[in-house]
Each structure stands twice: as C-alpha cells, then as structure tokens.
Structure 1
C-alpha cells in the first residue's frame, strides 16, 4: 500500500494484529480491513508531521488536505506527492467497500482528518518557532490531534447497518461524555510521554 514511500514504517502486520483484538468476530472482516488500511497510513501521516516534513512542507500538505482533491498533488513537494495521493485515494476507496446507504460515513472521516492535520500543523508551528503554549492554548489542538474521534469514526465506518446515521451524528456532535473520554485519553497519553521524556533524560 505504501511501496513507493521509502520513509514509511512497515507496521502492517503489527497493525492487523492490533485491529484483530478489536474486531475478532468473523462477520467483522470489513471493519478489520478498513481499520487496518487506515491505521497503516495514519502512522505515516503522523511521521510526516513529527519527523520528515518541514513546517513549510507540512503547511502545503495541510492546505492540500483541506481541498481533498487528488489533483492538489501537483502543488506539493516531490517528497510528499506519493504519500498524499495514496492517502486520499485510500480513503476515497472506502466508499467502494461500504454499502450505498453507508457512503455518507466517509465524509465524516474526511472532516476529522482535515481537523487532525490542522492540529498537527499547529503543534509543528509551535515547535518550529520555539514557542511553548500554555495549558489552555495546547488543550484543543492536543485533544483534536489525539485522533480519538477519528478512531471511533473509522470504527463506525467499518460496522454494518447496525450503526445508524443518527448515532453517528450524535457522536460527531461531541456530547460531554465523548469529550470527557477524549480528554482522559489525551491526558493519559501526555502523562506517559512526560514520564518517558524524564526517564530518557535521567543521568546515572
């Protein structure tokens, strides 16, 4: 799926086994397939903003994601073209893997991806400019950029007709229970990252 992207981490098998722990029932094969594909390319997206891309390159990439058009590839740096094209085409192909009555779910996923990359870019901008945001400044990008809503969104995309559009609309409105769950996940992640950072800097 990412053969032409040499910098990509090859985590397909690892990802599949992780997904298998969520969707182990035989009838959830479609959900397993969709989530495995998505998580594989999401890993590379995260690396592009965290490791490989400069702020200027990622800003162009973010603009391209807001357009969500494969033709936007012409405006991207060469290093990002194959990745962007493969990412967009993979998500668009999900529409072929769901029933006609379920295609609307893909649009929700695209909206969440567009929000995610904006958060990634904000964090990269702070890093590039040497800025340290306060708690309130960091809170929204940190929570939106935690991919929590996207994970649930992609899970709902893979399910069959048992998930109604009303249920998805309820989740995407981010009621208090959903927002609280996202905050807990993010704060736990931040605490774990801080502990790793402290341990890695500890001198014996």
Structure 2
C-alpha cells in the first residue's frame, strides 16, 4: 500500500513538473526573440526530446518567421532552417539552399570540414532527401568529416556525434534518441532546465502509460488462450506491443495502441498457422471462412482455427464499432476485404512453397508487402483515426503505406538472424534476387531499394500536395513504422538485438 501511494505521489509530482515545464517553455516561445538561430535551436531540441506536440502553433509561427535563414551563409543556420521548414511541409529546394556551400562541381567546400554543428545539421537534412543531388553529396561529405573528427572532440561531443552517425536523424526513432539527446543537453554549459524537466516528466508519464497498456494487452492475450491451442505459434506479446507503441504516438491514442496490438498479434498467429500448422485443406477452409465473415457458418473449421477466427472476428468488429461511434462510419466491409486479401497472400506463399514454384523477385515482393500485414494493420488505424473512404484510391494501397510496408519487408528479408520462434520458411526477396542474379550483391541492391522508398516516403509525408488529406498522426505512424525496422531487425553478430533491448528497457521496463 505504501509503495502504491509513493508511486501515485511521484506521478502527481511529474504531472506538476510537466505542467510547469509547459508553461515555461510556452512563455519562452511567445517572447519576441531577435536571435532566430536560438529560436530554431530551441524548436529542434523540443522535437528531439519528443515534446514538440505541445507547442505546434508556436513552432509553426516561429518556423514561418525564420524562413529567411535558409539564405544564411552559415551552414548550421541554413540547414537547420531548411530541415524545420521541410518538416513543416514548405516546398523549398535543398539544391538551391545548399548551392552556396559547394564549388562549381557541386562538391561541398573544404572550409566547412571543421564546423561540427554545421556538419551534424547537414547530416540531419541529408536523410530528408526527396531525390535532390545535393543531399546525396551532403550525406557522404558530412559522414566522412564527422567520422574523422570524432577522435579530436571532447568526450561528450564525441559521444553525441557517434550516436548521430549510428542512429541518423529522421530515419531513426525519436523516442529512442530522445534520452540520449537529453543527456547531451545536460552536459552543455548553458542549459534550459524548464525544457529538460518537461522532457523528464514526459518520459516518466509515457512509461507509466505504456506499462498500463502492456498489462491490459497481456491480460487479453492470456484470456484468449490461443497459445494453448496452437502450440507452435509465436507468443511474443511484448514484441507486438512494441510495434504499436512505436507507431501510434500520444496519450490520447492509448485505446488505439491496444487495439492495433491485437491486430498485429493476429497477423503473426495467422502467418504461423499458414506456415507451421494448417494442412492445405484446412487453410482453404480458413480462407473461405474469412470471405463469409459469419460466425454461424464456420462449423467445419478445426478447433484451433475456430478459436483464432472468433477472436479475429470479434476484435475487427469492435474496431469497426469504434470508428462508427467516434467518426460516424462503419468500415467493416473494407476491413473484411483487407483480411481476405491477407489470407489470399498467405495462400499464394503456401502454394509457391508446396509446389516448389519460384516467383520472380517482383512478384514475391508485391505479395510480400501484403503478407507483411502492414496494409491491413494501417487500414484499421486509418479508420480509427477518422479517415474516410474518399481518401482511399480504390483497392490500391496508399503510397505512404506502400513505402513503409516495402521497407519493412525488405528489412525483414535482410535479417541476419531468423526469428527464434519462427521455424517455417516461405522465401525472401534476397533469395529470389540471387536466383536471378547469382553474382549480384543482394544486400547492396536491397539497401538501394530501401533508400528509394525512403525518398518516396519523404515526398508523401512532407509534400503539401501529397499529404494534405492524411492526418499528422497517420503520417507519423507511417514514418515510425519505417524507423522501427532498423531496431526490430537490427541483429548483431551474435544474432541478438541490442538496440531493441535498450529501447525496451528505456521506454517500457
């Protein structure tokens, strides 16, 4: 009882600190700053600490008033203002902004080699590339010079630079980088204690919220009892919740994180049923049951499939009810079709495997994007967030989802270690590519494909013309899904996931 009271008291204390931090930072942002560089640096720190969502109006106004810094001759000012403007969906050409820092060949001038903060900012903006030649060169130039400079820097700055290179801004999870950025800020001689206290309170309250959600998901999963009926299926509730926790951000979307975790769990379990458990006849019956979408017409299913079907059916209908209640539309028809498409994709993979049929890399990837489960999962989120059918292009997967799903599939297929619980094998893009290109470098080819998808994802998320119909929460979810892949599939030489372990310990345990 004493521990409970102590925990409650600490929570109230952190809530008070968060409120005080919000007031202090908001007052600071409302002040008429003459130093635009200082304003943009503050905004950058708020973003890196994952507390910028509290100050969106102030940030939008400040970025707009500081746009002229893109014309600055200072590398840090120009690149920082360019990045913040791009994140705010201003259409500004990186090639035009960076031209002044390059020679007649388009190569960056050597007199910028020792500008560490400028190089860090240049490296940051290089990952928001939309296909601009200057940003390809910016990435190479900044990485090369920052790497060579590390040994000459003071320990705190060296550690900050190394972490920035290992986990580049924009393509890495902000939630993961936030704690490290706070430590860096706390090492500086000039500190903003209000912002730091706000970040600490936010970390603590987020962790409490995530722990509460995780307990609810665990109770649901245990009550479901599917692992007792499907012994070979994966039992990885923590991993499934980590996906949802990463993708769906914000205190107000707690219920959505829990529901999305349930959908993710079914994608994994159905995958295992197709790979490890079901006979061809059973799988055909399973797929037919999904098409009928009727609990009264599934008596022919074996017991384990019936249990999975009932649970999947119930959760999907509950999500449709949420969308109907909160947003006035019932998307059950679209969600049913999405499950049907997923099952058809798993059936096709099973057909390829059982008949020793080898698809082309293109055919494999097209189907692999479906069987990743990403389009289905995001369709559920799409409707929970209040989007409607007019925002969907017929039966086509929206590009913003397609890009993230492709990155997930390719990263998964590049993994150097198999999932320890996954004994089935249904091919990989890497294998299909090497069959057609036995002397090719599959990994280099796949990394190039991933880089292309990131550029397209950037265009989808940061071009006003393309992203105007989608909510910021949905676009952020697409970005975070792509960012999560380097953590969830980041195996080391010992086939462990050290960054994932660090991430879980930092944000959840």
TM surpasses 0.5 = yes
Q: TM-score by structure 1 length?
A: 0.79
User: 1:112 touches 1:150 (CA, 8 Å); kept in 2?
Assistant: yes
Contact 1:16–1:36 (CA under 8 A) maintained in structure 2: yes
In the superposition, relative to structure 1, how do residues 74 and 55 fare at CA in structure 2: closer, same or farther (>3 Å)? same
Separation (CA, whole Å) in 1 of partners of 2:398 and 2:409: 17
Q: How many residues align?
A: 193
| 1:127 aligned onto 2:349 | no
CA distance in 1, matches of 2:248, 2:362: 36
CA contact (8 A) 2:289 2:298 kept: yes
Give CA-to-partner distance per residue, 1:15-39, whole Å, 9 cap, x none: 2343222334111122112102211
Map of 1:98-137 to 2, 5 A cutoff?
Answer: 98-100=323-325, 101-137=327-363
Deviation at 1:134, TM superposition (A): 2.9
Q: CA deviation at 1:147?
A: 1.8
Superposed displacement of residue 72, structure 1:
2.8
Aligned partners of 1:196, 1:21: CA distance in 2, in Å?
22
- 1:10 is matched with 235
- 2: CA distance, partners of 1:22 / 1:123: 27
When residues 80 and 31 of structure 1 are mapped into structure 2, their CA distance, relative to the original with a 3 A threshold, is: same
Quick one: higher RCO (CA 8 Å, sep 6+), 1 or 2? 1
Partner of 1:26: 251
The 5 A counterparts of 1:139-158 are 139-158=365-384
**2:415 matched to 1:187?**
no
Gap change, CA 1:67 and 1:9, over 3 Å in 2 = same
Gaps of 5+ in 1: 199-204
Contact kept, 8 Å, 2:291 with 2:336, in 1: the verdict is: no
> Take 2:353 and 2:369, find their aligned partners in 1: how far apart are those partners?
17
Q: Which has the larger radius of gyration?
A: 2
Offset at 1:60? Answer: 1.3
TM-score (norm: length of structure 2): 0.35
Tell me, yes or no, if the aligned pair for 1:5 and 1:83 is still in contact at 8 Å: no
Tell me what 1:80 maps to.
305
**Using a 3 Å threshold, how does the CA distance of structure 1 residues 142 and 4 change in structure 2: closer, same or farther?**
closer
Question: Are the structure 2 counterparts of residues 115 and 12 from structure 1 closer, same or farther at C-alpha, using a change threshold of 3 Å?
Answer: same
Root mean square deviation of aligned Cα: 2.7
Q: Per the alignment, do residues 179 and 32 of structure 1 end up closer, same or farther by CA in structure 2, a change over 3 Å counting?
A: closer
Q: CA deviation at 1:177?
A: 5.7
Deviation for aligned residue 1:179: 4.0
Partner of residue 202, structure 1: none
Return the offset for 1:180: 4.7
Give the secondary structure class of the aligned counterpart of 2:359.
coil
> Structure 2 CA distance, aligned partners of 1:176 and 1:17?
24
